[in-house]
Structure formats: C-alpha cells, structure tokens
Amino acid sequence: MAPRLQLEKAAWRWVETVKPEEISWEHIELAYRINLPACKRGACRRNCKGNPNCLVGIGEQAWLGEIDENAFHNIDDPNSERRDKNTFVGLTNLGATCYVNTFLQVWFHNLELRRSLYQCHNSRAQEHNSESDYEPQSICEHLQYLFALLQNSNRKYIDPSGLVKALGLDTGQQQDAQEFSKLFLSLLEDTLSKQKNPNLQNVIQRQFCGQFSYVTVCNQCGRSSALPSRFYELELNIQGHKNLTECVTEFLKEEKLDGDNRYFCESCQSKQNATRRIRLHSLPPTLNLQLMRFVFDRQTGHKKKLNTFISFPEQLDMGPFLEGKSDQRCVYELSAVLIHRGISAYSGHYIAHVKDARTSDWYKFNDEEIEKMEGKKLQLGIEEDIAETVKSQTRKPKCGKGYHCSRNAYMLVYKVQEEESSDPSRASVEVPAFLQRLVDQDNHKFEEWCCEMADMRKQSVDKGKAKHEEVKELYELLPAKDGEPYEFISLDWLKKWLDDATATKEIDNSLFLCSHGKLHPDNVGESKRVSLQAAKLLYERYGGGPRLDSSSLCRECVGQRCRVLRLKNQLNEDYKEVSNLVKRTPSGEGYWVGKASLRSWRQLALEQLEEDEHKTKHSNGETNGQGPHSNSSKEFSSELSEGNEEEMKTFNEDIVCSHGGLSIMDTERKLVSTEVWTKLRAYFAKAPEFTQSQEPCQQCLTLEQEEKDNEAVSKMMALDQKNQLLNLFHEKNRPTLTKWPQGTDVLYVVPLFFVDEWRKFIRRPTKSSPVSNVGNSLLLCPHGGFMFTYDSLVNGDAQHIALLWPSEWEVISRLFIVDHSISIHLSQQTTPTGPTTQYTTQPDLCWECREGFLFQQQRDLREYTQATIYIRKVIEDKRMIKEAAPELNASSSEAEEDKEEQPKVDGEKDPDFGQRHRPKPPSSQVSSRHRSKPPLWAYQRNISEAGCPPEDPSEAFTPTPLITKC
C-alpha cells in the first residue's frame, strides 16, 4: 500500500471503536494528523503528501547548499559572443545558408578582391548619419559593409541576412553551391562594371578570368579552326580518376567527332570526321577548380554525389597544360578547399578550409565556429571521418608529402605563387574611414548590449541572493514544534515559493475549506503545518489567506466522516443480515420496499455514503469522488457491487408514483419487516417510507380505471366499424376505374391516407387513436373543385385515393364526419355515331388549378433545385481495364456495398430506376429522379437522391494519382 494510503488509514483507525457522539479533541487531531513525526533530511527522498509535518523535498535543496549564481538567471554571458584576439569573424547560418557562408569567407580572404571592393564609390555610406542604422542597398554596398565587419567587428559572428535578402535567396532551401558561385561572380562582375573607376571595372576578370579555345581539326583536309572563350573556373570530371592531374588531363584531352557528331568543315563544305580539344592560353591569379561531385543520374532522374577520393597537391604546376606564353607564372599554391559533408546531393552541410594570406595559417570556417589548424598545414582527416556512413566506401588512399586526399572536397581554390615582396601593404588591407565609422557604430551597439546583458545578469543575481537569504531564514522557522501554535499553508504555494527565484503570488488557502469555513480533513495532505512565527512572516511579505490555525479543525466534518466510515465498515454485515431477513415472512406491521431498490440497495448505500462523505466540502474545493479517500471508496464500491439492474437515484423511488404517493403496481414492491426497514433507514435517512397499511395513490387508481374503460370502448368501436366495413378492411371486392363495375353508376372517393389510418386503428384499437373525420378537402383546390380527371386517375393519380361502393359511403357518412363528398359518375349518351360513355366528377374539375398543376409538373421536369450528379469516365480501349482491374473491381464492389446499405426511397418505384440495360452514357451524365408528394393543389416537388451506379467497370471514374516531387 502506498505511504499516503497507509497514513490515511492510520488517521481514521479509531472510528472502529468510537461513535460520532463520543469524538474528543484527541480524535480530531488524529484525523488531521497533527502529531505525525516530521521527516528528516536524507531519510525522505520525496515529500510525503499525507504527512502535514513533512517539509522535506518541496524544493528547499536549491537554497540550503552552495550559492550558484548561474541558477539565479538564464542570461548567457555576453562576452561569449565577443571576438577573441587574433581570430576571424564567423557568419550566422540562417537555416540553409552554409553554402553562402563558405563562399563569402573564401572571397573575403582574397585580398585583391577585398581591396577593390573597399575602393568602390559608396555615397550612401560616406554621408550616413551615425544616429541611425546603416542599411545597404546594392550588392556592392552589402559586400563592402560585410567585409568591413568581418575584418574589424568586435562580434564573434555577424548576421549576413541583409546580403542574403538582397540576393533573393530562400533561407530554408539549400541551393546548388557550384551554380551559386557562378551566378554570384557574374552578378558581381556586372555590378563592378558600372563603377566610374576604370581599375575597378575589370576586377573580376583580372582576378578570376582565364582564356582557352576550342580547337577543331578536320581529318580530311587538316584545316584547323579555333573558337576562343573565357572561363572563371574549370569544371573537372572526377569519375574514374584518382588525382587532380588526371582530371585536368581529361579536361584537355582530344575528342573525336564522328558519326552523328561529325564536324562541318568550311574548306570541305561537308561534314567530316574531326578531332577537338581545349587549348589553355592564360590562367588567372586565382584559379577556381570545380570538382564535379554532383552529377545527374539517368536511372533515378535526380542528382547524386560521387564519393570518390581525389588527391590534390599543395603546389600545382599548370605549366605543362599551358600552350604559348612561356613567360606566364604557372605555379599555384592551394588557398582554400570547400567541403560538403553528407552522402546526398540534396542535403548535407558545407564548410570551408581557408589559408590566411598574411600568416599562411589554415582555418576551418563552419558558420559561427572558426577553428585554427595546428601548425601551418591543412588537415582534412576529421571531415573524411564524418562521411564514413556508407559500407561500400573505399579506404582512404595514402597521400604523399605535399598532397591531400578528400572524398568531400567539391571546389579547390589555388592562388598563383608570387615572389616575396618587401612591401607590407600587399599582405594587408585597410578598411576605409567611411566603412570603419560604420563598423565602430556597430561595435558601440554591441558594447552597449553587452553592458545591458551584464546589468540584467547582476540584477537577477542580486535578487536571487536576497531570495536565498530569505528562504534560508524562513525555512529554518517552518517546522512547528509540539505544543506550540501552528498554522496550515498550501503545499502548492510553498513549492512555488521555493521554486520561483523572483516574485511569488499571495497565499491562497480557499480551496481547502469545507462547507463550515474550516479546513476539510481530506485536504490535510495538500497543506503543510508550519510554526506561527513562520506563518506571520510569510503573510506579512506575501499576503493572502484565509489563515488556518488550530481553531480551523472542523469537528462537524470529522463527525460526519466517522459516521460514514462506521457505516461502510458495517455494510457487509448488514447486507448479509438483510438478505437473510427478507426471505422470511414479516410478522406484524411491515414496510413496502421497491424490488429494484432492494436488489441494488448496497450499491445505492455506497453512493449515498460517498455523497455524505464529501458534501461538507466548499463549493470551490474538490468535487465528489476526487478526494484522497475516494480511491479506496471506489475500490470498496466495485468490490461489493453485483451489477445494478436499474439505474436508481434514491432508494425506494421505484415505488413512488408521479403524484408522490405509493405506486399501484403491487408486483414491483415487496413487504419487509420493521427490523429490515430500520437497518435500511440508517443508510437512507431521506428515502420515502410506506407502511403496510398505506393505501395506493387514489389518482393513479382513477386514471387506471379510466384507461381501462377507454380501451373497452375503443375495442367495441373498432369491432363495430370492422363488421360494417369488412370488405374495405380486408381489401376485398374493390371497385376499379380501369374496368367500371357493373350494377352501379357512381363511385365515391376518399383519401388513401384516411383508409390507412382507419385500418391501423382497427388492428390495434388500444394502441392507436380512433379516426373521427374524412379529410376530402386534401383532394380539392382552393375554389372547391376536384383536382383530377377520370383519365389522370386511370393513368396513375389513383394511387393517392381509395374508391368506395355507395353502400360503403353510406356507412362512412354515418360513422365519420365528412367535410366534402366526392364522387365519380358514369353516364350513357346517344350520339349520331352511336352510344358513348362519359365520366363526370362531383364536384366538377377546376380547369384553372388543373392547368397550373400540369404546368408546374412540366416545369419541374426541366428545372432542378437539388439533384445528384454522376460523372462517368468512358474508356474507349477496353484493354486498359485489365491494367487497372484491381482498383476498378475494388471501387465497383465498394459501390455495390454502399448501394445495399442505402435505404430505399420512393424513386425506386420508377420502372427506369435501377435499370441494368441502358444505352451507354456520354462522357458526363446527369442522373436524377423526381419524387412527389400526394398531388395536392399546392404542388411541391423533391429531387430523389437515389441514383444509378455504373453497370460496367469501364464506366467507373478512377482518379489518376498525382506524382509530386519533393
């Protein structure tokens, strides 16, 4: 048993021997657990909710140990975002912009490009007022400001969102890094070409642009033609190659042009076999080599990454690959390596290894994080270990001295080797004054932010220290000593007071009050007993209430609980005794008890005791069944209950009539002895009591007799009407209009509705109401004329009427109230062509209303206000059905199941409804059915929602799945 339940049971163990009227103050203190020993620190791991004296594990641990200033605030140290001395500045990753950050770092370390950008004219920055924030607009302005911040900012990393937004990039979608490099250099070249300074107009060409030509030689005549071209980077195929030299060699190798790919020779004036190759003429100071790691896979239709190891040197001699211009410098030094982490071309992470042009140290740029490599050598081992995710990867080959090997490098940047110069200005770039002023402004804002954060941290720490001293002082005063005054305070409030390092709300004990305005015994576990001195200090500082001292222990609630618990303990014995006593015949005066109540009295008693146990709680307190004692009560209830046959709310309510008296249903009650009733009365003090001499309710007896008399009259009436109209009831010998009966020249008309209701009454006279009148006005128009002709009745309108013989009409006129008489007459007339038969109605037909009725019918056939539309797809080639057979069969079977489940409607009586052999419908078909009410003068129409399912699977509509690309 849980400790809380053990304490609960121990607190009320005394009720077994103490009656409610014998309760003393000692018993009250036991119920409120006043004298339970307090738990000691270390012995109680978590707070004992059932013990009001346990003040351990409520959050005091954080305040009694060593003071940790970091626990008093959640503000990071602003100096952690300060740039360390002699380090570079990082760039924030905006979501999927790591590929942009790597290129920006590479271009920033290109001193010639940075120096040229600083020289660009920027009137906006030069005339900027320091009182407002500087907002660049053009790409050149953004790069100027960004590079100046990367060079002299005090921040550890800066936000490039201004440039990214100006470029129109989606920060949540990773773009093709190699394509971005090409487009951005082209954009930058176009921007710089508009500068007035001629030295700036061709910066991109001077720094990154080289020249080559496509040379084609005709095999027939030997004619050679060259097509000159410029390049900003060389795209090298790496598939099937192991080192960079092989990749460059393949790029420059000779290609044969034959077959469909033959070359049109100007000399031969015809297509001839030829050879073509690329001839390098000049190389730029910065040589960008794109390793084509991301290639198109024809089988999947997507790009894939080649995880091939490629070896590349720190020094690259391009002399063997150049043709002409022997005086050109051809030895290059590796200055940057761009890495892609990941095995997929559509995901992963980009970082850059860049060599510092001033110190020749290597740095790894990973967005905000920048790491300096040990020594002065490039180290790629860590990056290659991260990519070891595919089992089929080949082992890393051994690299010789001066070489590096990578399966993740996708771009190599080489810079031409320059002669050592004594000019220090070539290895350094100064930020112009107008840009440095903007950087200083941003640094000033950063320093202000650091000071503000430091002040906030200090204020939080000061408040925390003050709270620490307060809590430490008050916690030592909390325990209440035996024999000294005490008060109860909410456990939840104490926990929040110890948990919250700042302000605490006022104390609220209102949820713990009983209906007498005192502390409810059930809520002792949710409160704690503290010393009077500690309570005074807490209320002085935080306020609240109501205050609950020793006078708040409720004697009434304890007495009520004592009575309930004693009855619960006695319930099992009383149930057995009552079960034995009710089997005996009572001697002397007895009491009436409902049989249903008697079957379920034990369950009702438990529910009543539960209600009595919790009814003393305050309206704002816990609801019935949620107190700490309710769990055990529910267990006890479920253990004793045997299945309640009828849901009872109050004991004996099943023999109380609607007038509050004893029910006349003597079969539903049982007579019990006075001894049984006394025991039941102890549990149900408010139950209705009926002695053996109690008379049943006189009003119920009177109503019962009247009901019996009415039923007898109805039976006699039904029997009499049935005998007089026997053929009408059995639908025998009925007249028809299609074959006029002989022996009469008149038939009478009544609504079919009247005949149906009359038959219901005849069949069940005690359950149905008798029919008193014939409503023939339903068949007449407002002018009193008949709405149907003889021909219309023969052709279908007769389904709403019933025809009567004259003798039957005479009986009906006598038995029922008839508002109008309607009849059809047969008359024979002699004409020059011979005798003819005419049929007339009485009253006569109203042609005006009849024409309006027919017009409305025709209009309804043309116009729809509600209809079900079926669209069927026609498949001309039946062979296509076989390919989609599973889907079509499934949809067809589902349609049939749906059809079976739908209720039948009036439209199914239509001979065309459900017709299986119909002409094949067009590509789209509207199917609808009309269902009309009985044809009254105020005609209304409805469109039936029933429809015809497709009879052929080929006519069913099968949706085409959409193929989406993520």
User: Burial level of 902, CB count in 10 A (0-12/13-18/19+)?
Assistant: exposed
Residue 621: its pLDDT value, please?
A: 42
DSSP 963: P
Residue 352: its pLDDT value, please?
A: 92
Q: How far is CA 241 from CA 119, 306, 318, 342, 392, in A?
A: 43, 11, 18, 21, 18
> To which H or E segment does residue 528 belong?
strand 527-531
* Residue, of 901 and 530, whose pLDDT is higher: 530
Q: What is the dihedral of CA 885, 891, 896, 897, to 10 degrees?
A: 130
Amino acid at 870: Y
Residue 613: its pLDDT value, please?
A: 62
> Considering only CA atoms, which of 832, 828, 949, 824 is closest in space to residue 892?
949
CB 321 within 8 A of CB 253: no
What share of the chain in percent tops pLDDT 70? Answer: 81
* Residue, of 941 and 698, whose pLDDT is higher: 698
Other residues' Cβ atoms within 10 Å of the Cβ of residue 537? 16
- Residue 731 Rama label (left phi>0; alpha psi -120 to 50; beta): left
Domains, the chain, with CATH or none: 78-198+432-451 (3.90.70.10), 201-381+401-419 (3.90.70.10), 584-696 (no CATH), 734-859 (3.30.2230)
Q: Once rounded to an integer, what is the mean pLDDT over residues 495-500?
A: 78
Beta bridge partners of 527: 490
Confidence band for 67, pLDDT divided at 50, 70 and 90: low
Angle at 246 between CA 244 and CA 247, to 5 degrees: 65
Cα separation, 259 vs 887, in Å, equals 48
3-state DSSP of 125-158:
HHCCCCCCCCCCCCHHHHHHHHHHHHHHCCECEE
Cα separation, 526 vs 114, in Å, equals 70
Residue 332: its pLDDT value, please?
A: 92
Give me 956's structure tokens. 């069913």
> Which pLDDT tens digit goes with each residue over 718-773?
899 889 999 989 989 988 888 888 888 899 999 998 999 999 998 998 888 888 89
CB 466 within 8 A of CB 153: no
Give me 565's structure tokens. 């618990």
Q: What is the dihedral of CA 649, 651, 653, 656, to 10 degrees?
A: -170
Backbone angles phi, psi at 583, to 5 degrees: -75, -20
What does 816-884 look like in DSSP terms, one character per residue?
SEES---EEEEEEEEETTEEEEEEEEESPB-HHHHHHHHHHHHHHHH--SS---B-----S-TTHHHHT
3-state DSSP of 671-716:
EECHHHHHHHHHHCCCCCCCECCCCCCHHHHHHHHHHHHHHHHHHH
Q: Once rounded to an integer, what is the mean pLDDT over residues 273-290?
A: 91
Amino acid at 454: A
- Which residue carries 């309108």 as its tokens? 797
Backbone angles phi, psi at 81, to 5 degrees: -105, 15
> Considering only CA atoms, which of 689, 697, 790 is closest in space to residue 737?
790
User: Which is catalytic among the residues 98, 140, 218, 330?
Assistant: 98
Q: Once rounded to an integer, what is the mean pLDDT over residues 325-341?
A: 85
Confidence band for 964, pLDDT divided at 50, 70 and 90: very low
Angle at 415 between CA 411 and CA 416, to 5 degrees: 140
Reduced to 3 states (helix: H, G, I; strand: E, B; else coil), residue 80 is: helix
CA 867 vs. chain centroid, Å, equals: 35
> Which of 365-379, 697-711, 879-893, 938-952 has the least mean pLDDT?
938-952
Please indicate whether residue 98 is annotated as part of the active site: yes
Residue 308: its pLDDT value, please?
A: 85
Give the total residue count for the chain.
966
Please indicate whether residue 128 is annotated as part of the active site: no
User: Which is catalytic among the residues 281, 349, 825, 930?
Assistant: 349
> Which pLDDT tens digit goes with each residue over 882-898?
444 443 343 444 444 34
Q: What is the dihedral of CA 556, 558, 564, 568, to 10 degrees?
A: -170
- Residue 483 Rama label (left phi>0; alpha psi -120 to 50; beta): left
3-state DSSP of 550-605:
HHHECHHHHHHHHHHHHHHHHHHHHHHHHHHHCCCCCCCCCEEEEHHHHHCHHHHH
Confidence band for 74, pLDDT divided at 50, 70 and 90: low
> Which pLDDT tens digit goes with each residue over 220-273?
888 888 899 999 999 999 888 989 999 999 999 988 988 888 989 888 888 888
Other residues' Cβ atoms within 10 Å of the Cβ of residue 924? 12
Q: Is the omega angle on the peptide bond into residue 843 within 30 degrees of 0, that is, cis?
A: yes
3-state DSSP of 712-754:
HHHHHHHHHHHHHCHHHHHCCCCCCCCCCCCCCCEEEEEEHHH
Give me 765's structure tokens. 């006279």
Q: Is the pLDDT of residue 424 over 50?
A: yes
Beta bridge partners of 594: 669
> Considering only CA atoms, which of 42, 24, 137, 17 is closest in space to residue 558?
24
What share of the chain in percent tops pLDDT 90? Answer: 14
Residue 640: its pLDDT value, please?
A: 34
Q: How far is CA 598 from CA 650, 736, 926, in A?
A: 12, 64, 65
Q: Once rounded to an integer, what is the mean pLDDT over residues 508-513?
A: 88
Q: Once rounded to an integer, what is the mean pLDDT over residues 90-106?
A: 88
Residue 654: its pLDDT value, please?
A: 85
Residue 867: its pLDDT value, please?
A: 64
Cα separation, 384 vs 467, in Å, equals 52
Residue 936: its pLDDT value, please?
A: 40
Confidence band for 782, pLDDT divided at 50, 70 and 90: confident
What does 164-188 look like in DSSP terms, one character per residue?
HHHHT--TTS---HHHHHHHHHHHH
Q: Is the pLDDT of residue 564 over 70?
A: yes
Residue 595: its pLDDT value, please?
A: 85
Outline where 319-432 has alpha helix (H).
381-386
Residue 171: its pLDDT value, please?
A: 81
Beta bridge partners of 826: 839
Q: What is the dihedral of CA 582, 588, 594, 595, to 10 degrees?
A: 30
3-state DSSP of 761-803:
HHHCCCCCCCCCEECHHHHECCCCCECCCHHHHHCCHHHHEEE
> Which of 30-34, 195-199, 519-523, 796-800 has the least mean pLDDT?
796-800
DSSP 502: S
